[in-house]
């Protein structure tokens, strides 16, 4: 599948104003034979800092959830005419103090074709997107898993 990564990033940031508010920017969105991947960054901005000078937990949650949304649009954008993607559940673990610029790298937990096959079979598929949050040195500062569904249009 070929995607326009710029269109995915611009479309997501246009439809999710809060992601723009915290300064989210995408550095990568790819769909390849071995999977789907999106990387988003949160700049080191005092407007989103917490009491210790790093990015606020809510900003990191938003960054990771936004990266997961890019995965969903990249992998399933061609299904939007028949299903609406919705986040069902999210869990985050803050592993280390994050300081400076942080990035969120999201990956789809299973092949997109398997999810589409469930949709084709009349099911409401659920799938996970795994996200690793890291500082500029590549040290993992958090991990998040978001369960998404493709809710068929009625």
Per-residue pLDDT tens over the stretch 51-66: 999 999 999 999 999 9
The structure tokens 């300081």 sit at 99
Spatial separation of the C-alpha atoms in residues 146 and 144, rounded to whole Å: 7
What pLDDT score does 120 carry? 97
CA atoms within 13 Å, Cβ hemisphere of 31:
19
Q: Which domains does the chain have, with CATH numbers?
A: 5-152 (3.10.129.10)
43 pLDDT more than 70? yes
Per-residue pLDDT tens over the stretch 9-30: 888 888 888 999 999 999 999 8
105 pLDDT more than 70? yes
- Token digits of residue 46: 């005092």
Spatial separation of the C-alpha atoms in residues 39 and 33, rounded to whole Å: 18
Spatial separation of the C-alpha atoms in residues 2 and 120, rounded to whole Å: 21
Spatial separation of the C-alpha atoms in residues 88 and 98, rounded to whole Å: 26
129, 150 contact by CB (below 8 A): no
Interior angle at CA 40, CA 22 and CA 133, nearest 5: 95
- Token digits of residue 42: 């949160």
Spatial separation of the C-alpha atoms in residues 17 and 111, rounded to whole Å: 29
3-state DSSP assignment of residue 7: helix
Q: Helices (H), strands (E): how many in the chain?
A: 4, 6
pTM of the model: 0.93
């Amino acid at each position: 599948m070929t995607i326009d990564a710029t269109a995915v990033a611009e479309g997501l940031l246009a439809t999710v104003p809060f992601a723009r508010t915290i300064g989210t920017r995408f550095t990568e969105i790819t769909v390849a034979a071995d999977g789907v991947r999106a990387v988003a960054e949160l700049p080191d901005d005092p407007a989103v800092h917490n009491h210790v000078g790093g990015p606020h937990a809510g900003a990191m949650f938003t960054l990771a959830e936004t990266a997961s949304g890019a995965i969903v649009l990249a992998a399933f954008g061609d299904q939007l005419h028949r299903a609406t993607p919705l986040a069902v559940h999210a869990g985050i673990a803050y592993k280390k103090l994050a300081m400076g610029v942080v990035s969120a790298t999201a990956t789809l937990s299973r092949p997109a074709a398997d999810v589409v096959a469930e949709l084709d079979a009349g099911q409401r598929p659920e799938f996970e997107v795994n996200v690793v949050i890291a500082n500029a040195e590549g040290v993992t500062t958090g991990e998040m898993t978001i369960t998404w569904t493709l809710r068929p249009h009625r």
